[in-house]
């Protein structure tokens, strides 16, 4: 998800700039002003409460705002992200937004503040007042709205400065130029946070070779627990010997072994654009560990992919591999192969099901040649907003 808040005094051009942003990032647009005007038009309870406040240029209560925002977000579970216009407008609303984002398992990526000379803003609003039909676009109310902005809305900036996601753009340039500048800061902000792609698939589905190729193509770090463990075995350390024993018995390697290795890998590759995880998380416990590792780095899961193949095809592939030099210590006998497939089914499939509910999982057909499967996976990732951000 990408979530952006557009900030600025009345007349800064938030509404105008929103249109292009919504299109570029495929966002759902939430303007609290529009939502309130809609409530007023339908003469709802909330509308009646807000009507006189809006006409005088004051701010509607946080209680009303939280209700209309929550309702709108709930009505759009399919959204790729939200663009907030006119919200948060008070320091309290910053906390409301934090809570709403946590509930969606996401966060605000950037608050873009449009800076504009105040007299220019007044002139724009007076001009808009000639055609907008808005009761609050006349000079007296406009001055009041600006007063409210200074008193109650400007403190919002400090909240986001502290969070490190506050960015400014000069709002009195021509529309196209402002649009370009907004894209630049958003792109910048998005690329600051690493992308995290989780690649699933049964053993034999090709997730290892595909993951490696995807990482190379998209310039991401490949985080594969298997090779990390193999490296430990190759070093002949006591830890490596324990891993070897577990491999041979077909059991999963314990979290106490895997997690520090992953943490070390993330620490060593801090400046990369993102990661592709393969072979992790493998259990529900590990999925919570990954959540924790990402949260520690102010990141979240960008995309989950599951490579699908019929069971018989998987067995055929694993059996074929066991007769080649690529045979892994855990693939040497049929019993071990079946055990690994079973481990995936009982322990990893529930993780995929959990992700399907929280993030959505892209199912990719794993049949055909390596190139065919790679092309399918590549196309899924090319649609990812974070990767697209680089091209907008
Ligand atoms: P706008 O369309 O954003 O200029 O909003 C018009 C009016 O709606 C404002 O002057 C406020 O009275 C009210 N309003 C819009 N958003 C909010 C908000 N987040 N908090 C409080 N009042 C709001």
Alpha-carbon span 180 to 44, nearest angstrom: 39
Q: Which 3 state secondary structure label does DSSP give 170?
A: strand
Residue 7 in contact with ligand 1 by CB distance below 6 A: no
Residue 11 in contact with ligand 1 by CB distance below 6 A: no
* Residue 115 main-chain phi, psi, to 5 deg: -100, 130
What's the pTM?
0.71
Q: Which atom of ligand 1 is nearest to the CA of 61?
A: 21
Q: Which atom of ligand 1 is nearest to the CA of 85?
A: 3
Residue 59 in contact with ligand 1 by CB distance below 6 A: yes
The helix-helix angle for 45-56 and 62-74 (nearest 10°) equals 130
Alpha-carbon span 362 to 380, nearest angstrom: 7
**Do β-strands 221-224 and 195-201 pair in parallel, antiparallel, or remain unpaired?**
unpaired
Q: Which atom of ligand 1 is nearest to the CA of 36?
A: 8
Q: Which pLDDT score, from 0 to 100, does residue 188 have?
A: 84
CA of 82 to the centre of ligand 1 (A): 18
Residue 54 in contact with ligand 1 by CB distance below 6 A: yes
Maximum alpha-carbon separation in the chain: 84
Q: Which pLDDT score, from 0 to 100, does residue 388 have?
A: 55
CA of 32 to the centre of ligand 1 (A): 6
CA of 155 to the centre of ligand 1 (A): 16
Token duo for residue 332: 């040497």
CA of 106 to the centre of ligand 1 (A): 25
Residue 86 in contact with ligand 1 by CB distance below 6 A: yes
Alpha-carbon span 52 to 248, nearest angstrom: 74
Best of 82, 89, 148 for a ligand 1 pocket test (most atoms within 8 Å of beta carbon) = 89
Four-CA torsion 266, 224, 304, 284, nearest 10 degrees: -90
Q: Which pLDDT score, from 0 to 100, does residue 391 have?
A: 44
Smallest CA-to-CA distance from 114 within 188, 168, 161, 191 is with 168
List per-block mean pLDDT (blocks of 10 residues) for the chain, which spans 392 residues.
92 93 91 96 94 94 95 89 96 96 87 94 91 87 93 94 95 95 89 88 94 94 91 91 86 86 88 90 94 84 94 93 81 86 95 91 96 96 66 42
Q: Which pLDDT score, from 0 to 100, does residue 390 have?
A: 46
Q: Which residues pair with 5 in a beta bridge?
A: 84, 111
Give the position of tokens 């007349």: 11
Q: Which atom of ligand 1 is nearest to the CA of 148?
A: 10
For the chain, the distance separating the N- and C-terminal CA atoms, rounded to the nearest angstrom, is 16
Token duo for residue 351: 């993780």
For atom 19 of ligand 1, the residue with the nearest CA is 87
Best of 7, 32, 54 for a ligand 1 pocket test (most atoms within 8 Å of beta carbon) = 32
Structural domains for the chain: 4-192 (3.40.50.300), 195-391 (3.40.50.300)
Residue 53 in contact with ligand 1 by CB distance below 6 A: yes
Residue 10 in contact with ligand 1 by CB distance below 6 A: yes
Number of CB atoms found within 10 A of residue 319's CB: 13
Residue 351 in contact with ligand 1 by CB distance below 6 A: no
């Amino acid at each position: 998800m990408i979530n952006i808040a557009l900030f600025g005094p009345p007349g800064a051009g938030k509404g105008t700039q929103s249109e292009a942003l919504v299109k570029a990032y495929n966002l759902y647009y939430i303007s609290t002003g529009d939502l309130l005007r809609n409530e007023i038009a339908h003469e709802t309870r909330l509308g009646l409460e807000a009507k006189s406040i809006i006409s005088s240029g004051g701010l509607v209560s946080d209680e009303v705002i939280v209700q209309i925002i929550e309702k709108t977000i709930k009505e759009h579970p399919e959204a790729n992200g939200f663009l907030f216009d006119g919200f948060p407008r008070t320091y309290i609303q910053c906390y409301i937004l934090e809570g709403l984002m946590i509930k969606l398992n996401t966060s605000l990526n950037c608050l873009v503040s449009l800076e504009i000379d105040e007299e220019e803003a007044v002139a724009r609003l007076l001009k808009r007042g000639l055609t907008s039909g808005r009761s609050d676009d006349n000079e007296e109310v406009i001055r009041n709205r600006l007063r409210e902005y200074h008193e109650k809305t400007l403190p919002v900036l400090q909240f986001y400065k502290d969070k490190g996601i506050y960015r400014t753009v000069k709002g009195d340039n021509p529309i196209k130029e402002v649009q370009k500048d907004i894209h630049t800061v958003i792109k910048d902000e998005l690329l600051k946070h690493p992308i995290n792609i989780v690649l699933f698939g049964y053993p034999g589905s090709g997730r290892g070779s595909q993951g490696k190729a995807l990482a190379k193509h998209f310039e991401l770090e490949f985080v594969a627990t298997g090779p990390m463990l193999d490296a430990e075995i190759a070093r002949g350390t006591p830890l490596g010997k324990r891993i070897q024993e577990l491999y041979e018995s077909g059991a999963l390697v314990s979290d106490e072994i895997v997690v520090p290795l992953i943490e070390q890998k993330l620490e060593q590759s801090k400046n990369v654009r993102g990661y592709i995880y393969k072979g992790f998380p493998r259990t529900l416990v590990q999925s919570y560990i990954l959540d924790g590792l990402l949260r520690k780095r102010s990141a979240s899961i960008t995309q989950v992919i599951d490579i699908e193949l019929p069971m018989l095809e998987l067995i055929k592939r694993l059996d074929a591999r066991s007769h080649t030099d690529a045979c892994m210590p855990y693939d040497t006998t049929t019993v071990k192969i079946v055990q690994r497939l079973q481990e995936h089914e009982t322990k990893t499939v529930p993780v995929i099901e959990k992700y399907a509910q929280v993030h959505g999982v892209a199912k990719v057909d794993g049949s055909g040649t390596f190139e065919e499967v790679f092309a399918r996976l590549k196309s899924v990732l090319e649609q990812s907003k974070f990767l697209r951000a680089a091209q907008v």
